[in-house]
């Protein structure tokens, strides 16, 4: 059924705890991308068929129009699920810099894909560059001490 794999991908993301990394599910991710490609091909085919019949794509209300609509909506939904999966993983990586610093812990490095590792390195590098320009380490403890020890 359309969108089931994309829904699985989002459920996998939602099933994990906040800020915790699950291994990147490249197999399911690629299946959703392949399903998007299939929807795109079907959509193009149906639109071409409507145009070949001499009908206006915008106003035609036949079976091909509704089939194209289903493929279009399925394609949009799958893309939104892929974007949500990617965005949430990127947000977790961004927040990780503030928690563990500029190096990735081994147990997290094993769970992320190559592009996520590159993203983390570039984000960490940009943050380091910014902090060196300000001469401030922004990754230190965010909670101020309760007792100020100044004499």
Q: pLDDT (tens digit, 9 = 90+) per residue, 22-71?
A: 889 999 999 999 999 999 999 999 999 988 888 877 777 888 889 999 99
What is the DSSP secondary-structure string of 32-46? HHHHHHHHHHHHHHH
Per DSSP, the three-state class of 67 is: helix
Rounded Cα distance, 114 and 112, in Å? 7
Q: What is the per-residue pLDDT for 137?
A: 79
The pLDDT-based confidence of 149 (bands split at 50, 70, 90) is low
Give the angle 130-131-133 at the CA atoms, nearest 5°.
65
Q: pLDDT (tens digit, 9 = 90+) per residue, 85-94?
A: 999 999 989 8
Residue 131 has pLDDT above 90, yes or no: no
Closest by Cα among 47, 41, 37 to 79 = 37
Domains of the chain: 4-134 (1.20.58.1030)
Is the pTM higher than 0.85? The answer reads no
Q: What is the per-residue pLDDT for 14?
A: 86
Rounded Cα distance, 68 and 42, in Å? 7
């Amino acid at each position: 059924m359309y969108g089931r794999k994309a829904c699985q991908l989002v459920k996998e993301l939602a099933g994990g705890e906040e800020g915790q990394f699950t291994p990147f599910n490249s197999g399911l991710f690629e299946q959703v991308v392949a399903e998007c490609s299939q929807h795109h091909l079907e959509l193009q085919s149906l639109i071409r068929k409507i145009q070949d019949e001499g009908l206006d794509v915008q106003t035609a209300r036949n079976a091909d129009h509704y089939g194209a609509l289903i493929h279009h909506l399925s394609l949009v939904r799958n893309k939104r699920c892929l974007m949500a999966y990617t965005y949430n993983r990127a947000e977790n990586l961004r927040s990780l810099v503030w928690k563990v610093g500029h190096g990735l812990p081994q147990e997290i490095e094993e769970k992320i894909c190559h592009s996520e590792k590159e993203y983390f390195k570039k984000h960490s590098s940009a943050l380091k560059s910014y902090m060196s320009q300000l001469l401030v380490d922004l990754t230190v403890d965010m909670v101020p001490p309760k007792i100020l020890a100044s004499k």
